[in-house]
Amino acid sequence: MENVILNNQKQCPVIGIGTFMLSPADAENSVREALKMGYSLVDTANAYVNERACGRGMKASGLKREDIYLSTKLWASEFENPNAVDETLERLGLDYVDLLYIHQPAGNWMAGYRQLEKAYRSGKAKSIGISNFEGEYIEALEKEWEIVPQFIQVEAHPYFTQKELRKTLDKYDIKLMSWYPLGHGDKSLINEPIFVALGKKYGKSAAQVILRWHTQMGFVVIPGSKNVDHIRENLNILDFKLTDDEMAEIAKLDCGRRYYNRTDEQLKQFAAWQPQYERA
């Protein structure tokens, strides 16, 4: 497995299993099987309502805790809950997480970030991050943070490479973790002629070529699936490397196209919504 080195000198695998929109049963199965086949990064969140299931999958994999990199996210309704981090750890069945995010720039998000900093200092979070913080939000946080985050998780793919955001990230060596890495499954992206051609050249699928592009961009990528064959295929991307010329051709696809555009009204809803966590 390839790793990226973070600004606190810790390491994170370049590809992991995402669990967004997976039911608890599917999340448990996907995490268990992914870890058995060679993954070591698992990404979840309070809002996914499958943290307990991810914890069960981790235990069922048979891997040692230190061989698994677990990231999760505090939801906006938890930012002012002083027990949010401990409750998150309880659901996961862990003493610490490798990476703890705040999930959205909603509600009192600065209180949420202070919780991350406290968790980092105490060792309950080995690294910290921000999710969906772009533009004015990362600019505001930049003025207030006491500990620079190690990660940001945002939408990124060949149609939208986050050029502007990366100017700030590069300044602090903050790593980017991609969601919607395949353009939310958009066939027009996956079937771009360059990905089809490169797939034939390297004996890979177009999706595998795109995932490899992410890792060569320096991004960490977390495609999610409940299909074991897809999970295995997504991992099988590290035995080839795109050339500089190929990366340059792919760069021409960047057209600023997003698949998700958040509104101010949604941020208000995020601040008010309370996840109904799994009981067991």
Question: Does the pLDDT at position 27 exceed 80?
Answer: yes
Question: Does the pLDDT at position 280 exceed 80?
Answer: no
Task: Name beta bridge partners: 41.
Answer: 16, 69
Identify the domain containing residue 143 by its residue range: 3-272
Mean pLDDT for the stretch of residues 44-61: 98
> Could you tell me the pLDDT band of residue 43, with boundaries at 50, 70 and 90?
very high
Helices (H), the chain: 24-37, 51-61, 84-92, 109-122, 136-142, 163-172, 187-190, 193-202, 206-216, 228-235, 244-251, 264-272
pTM: 0.96
User: Is residue 264 assigned to a domain?
Assistant: yes
Mean pLDDT for the stretch of residues 86-102: 98
Q: What tokens does 109 get?
A: 């998000």
User: Is residue 47 assigned to a domain?
Assistant: yes
Q: How many domains does the chain have?
A: 1
Query: Hey, is 194 helix, strand or coil?
Result: helix
pLDDT digits (tens, 9 = 90+) for 248-278: 999 999 999 999 999 999 999 999 999 999 8
Query: Hey, is 111 helix, strand or coil?
Result: helix
Question: Does the pLDDT at position 138 exceed 80?
Answer: yes
Q: Characterise 31 by phi-psi region: left (phi > 0), alpha (psi -120 to 50), beta (else).
A: alpha
The values of phi and psi at residue 13, to 5°, are -60, 150
The residue count of the chain comes to 280
Question: Does the pLDDT at position 57 exceed 90?
Answer: yes
User: Is residue 69 assigned to a domain?
Assistant: yes
CA 185 to the chain's CA centroid: 17
User: Is residue 277 assigned to a domain?
Assistant: no
- State the pLDDT at residue 117: 98
pLDDT digits (tens, 9 = 90+) for 180-192: 999 998 999 999 9
Residues marked as catalytic: 48
- State the pLDDT at residue 279: 81
Angle between helices 206-216 and 228-235 (to 10 degrees): 50
pLDDT digits (tens, 9 = 90+) for 203-216: 999 999 999 999 99
pLDDT digits (tens, 9 = 90+) for 110-130: 999 999 999 999 999 999 999
User: What CATH number is attached to the domain comprising 117?
Assistant: 3.20.20.100
User: Is residue 280 assigned to a domain?
Assistant: no
User: Is residue 149 assigned to a domain?
Assistant: yes
- State the pLDDT at residue 20: 96
User: Is residue 210 assigned to a domain?
Assistant: yes
